[in-house]
């Protein structure tokens, strides 16, 4: 079918052998299309009964095997430049580093990236970027050499101070403290409660406004920046309107995904040491592969249970052999 469709790894292995498939890694809020109306009379071997259409699924040029603002395939057989590709955490498209609209500084650790287009679709993020994102880097020419320079606005590291009032307990003298035996009065309790309510109702975004930065190019964020997002009712509505409410979910981060794929099954496995020597794209490919393998193995055992089969060493060997052959066919379609 010419209509774009997406299938999960289990269905890719079980139902779509020999089909043209592009590995897209993660797609947020996406349901497997295998066996629905996009495939005509074809039925999914794992879940025969499917909805006719997944109306909430979103499809972009990735489903045609193209990526970045240049709309080129990966790997690009017509361009042999070894250019790293980085995934935007909002649109989940992959962009070449040379097409990010900014100069990349070498990070000390993996960071999250939001492309310029997505920043402009959620413009309030520029305010947070002025305070919490990696400062933009511009390339200037000095003599015969290009020099990268960090652009840091004056006082960019000085955040607006929140209004703080001394608590009642801080205003007591030592004699007063001893006489109360550390007990809080009703007035103290109500005062603290009122302050807590006031703080929860305050808009963090409004506090940060006033400091701006260059609104150009992709933005890199250190891990933990999402915890700085305001969670007042008004801002939550803004996130929903911009379709970025997932930014409030700490388990949505790549770091959380990596931990899920590595911590439990591997612990201090030598694989962790190997990962530390890889670049970002290689690390993600390994993590995606591990999570995909776990999913495929789980599906294999579930199928054995549903069909009443006994799991044998020979059966497991055949499963991995078939999995490897399918992987080769997907990654080397020209050899079929």
Q: Note the pLDDT of residue 256.
A: 78
Q: Which of 205, 221, 252 is the last residue of a domain?
A: 252
- Do the beta carbons of residue 283 and residue 275 sit within 8 Å? yes
pTM for the whole thing?
0.62
Rounded CA separation 176/271 (Å):
60
pLDDT value at 217 more than 50:
yes
pLDDT tens figures, 85-103: 889 999 999 999 899 998 7
Q: Which two tokens stand for residue 40?
A: 């005509």
Q: Residue 296's domain spans which residues?
A: 262-336
Q: Any idea which residue has 């807590």 for tokens?
A: 196
In a domain, 287, yes or no: yes
pLDDT value at 4 more than 60:
yes
310 plus 186 within the same structural domain: no
Q: Any idea which residue has 């009379």 for tokens?
A: 41
189 plus 319 within the same structural domain: no
In a domain, 47, yes or no: no
178 plus 244 within the same structural domain: yes
In a domain, 187, yes or no: yes
The tally of domains found in the chain comes to 2
Chain centroid to Cα 27, Å, comes to 9
In a domain, 64, yes or no: yes
Q: Note the pLDDT of residue 254.
A: 75
pLDDT tens figures, 227-266: 999 999 999 999 999 999 999 998 888 777 767 666 655 4
289 plus 228 within the same structural domain: no
222 plus 319 within the same structural domain: no
In a domain, 158, yes or no: no
In a domain, 14, yes or no: no
Sign of CA dihedral 109, 275, 97, 81: positive
What pLDDT band is residue 331 in, cutting at 50, 70 and 90?
Answer: low
Using alpha carbons, select from 312, 123, 331 the residue that is nearest to residue 209: 123
In a domain, 144, yes or no: no
Q: Which of 252, 275, 290 is the last residue of a domain?
A: 252
Q: Note the pLDDT of residue 155.
A: 42
pLDDT tens figures, 117-132: 999 999 999 999 999 9
In a domain, 326, yes or no: yes
131 plus 266 within the same structural domain: no
What pLDDT band is residue 327 in, cutting at 50, 70 and 90?
Answer: low
Q: Which of 252, 284, 313 is the last residue of a domain?
A: 252
Using alpha carbons, select from 26, 20, 8 the residue that is nearest to residue 64: 20
Q: Which helix (H) or strand (E) holds 129?
A: helix 124-132
The shares of helix, strand and coil residues in the chain, as percent rounded to the nearest 5, are 45, 10, 45
Rounded CA separation 132/336 (Å):
49
226 plus 191 within the same structural domain: yes
pLDDT tens figures, 152-183: 544 444 444 444 444 444 434 444 444 433 44
79 plus 129 within the same structural domain: yes
A 10 A CB-CB count for 87 gives 20
211 plus 267 within the same structural domain: no
pLDDT value at 76 more than 80:
yes
201 plus 111 within the same structural domain: yes
Average pLDDT, the chain: 76
User: Is residue 147 classed as helix, strand or coil in its secondary structure?
Assistant: strand
State percent of the chain over pLDDT 90.
29
């Amino acid at each position: 079918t010419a209509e774009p469709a997406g299938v999960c790894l289990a269905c890719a292995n079980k139902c779509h052998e020999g089909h043209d498939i592009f590995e897209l890694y993660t797609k947020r809020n996406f349901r497997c299309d295998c066996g629905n109306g996009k495939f005509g009379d074809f039925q999914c071997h794992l879940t025969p009964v499917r909805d006719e259409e997944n109306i909430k699924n979103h499809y972009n040029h990735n489903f045609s095997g193209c990526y970045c603002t240049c709309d080129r395939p990966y790997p690009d057989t017509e361009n042999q430049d070894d250019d790293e590709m980085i995934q935007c955490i909002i649109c989940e498209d992959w962009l070449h580093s040379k097409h990010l609209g900014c100069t990349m500084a070498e990070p000390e650790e993996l960071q999250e990236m939001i492309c310029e287009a997505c920043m402009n679709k959620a413009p309030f993020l520029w305010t947070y970027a002025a305070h919490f994102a990696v400062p933009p880097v511009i390339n200037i020419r000095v003599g015969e050499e290009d020099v990268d320079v960090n652009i840091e606005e004056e006082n960019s590291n000085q955040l607006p101070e929140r209004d703080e009032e001394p608590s009642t307990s801080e205003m007591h003298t030592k004699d007063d403290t001893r006489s109360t035996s550390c007990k809080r009065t009703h007035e103290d309790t109500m005062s603290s409660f009122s302050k807590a309510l006031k703080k929860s109702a305050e808009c963090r975004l409004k506090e940060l406004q006033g400091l701006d930065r260059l609104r150009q190019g992709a933005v890199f964020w250190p891990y933990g920046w999402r915890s700085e997002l305001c969670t007042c009712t008004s801002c939550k509505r803004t996130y929903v309107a911009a379709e970025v409410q997932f930014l409030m979910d700490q388990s949505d981060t790549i770091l959380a995904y990596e931990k899920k794929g590595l911590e439990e099954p591997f612990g201090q496995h030598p694989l962790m040491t190997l990962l530390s020597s890889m670049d970002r794209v290689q690390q993600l490919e390994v993590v995606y592969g591990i999570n995909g393998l776990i999913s495929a193995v789980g599906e294999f055992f579930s199928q054995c249970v549903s069909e009443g089969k006994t799991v044998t060493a020979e059966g497991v060997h055949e499963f991995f052999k078939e999995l490897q052959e399918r992987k080769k066919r997907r990654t080397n379609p020209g050899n079929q």
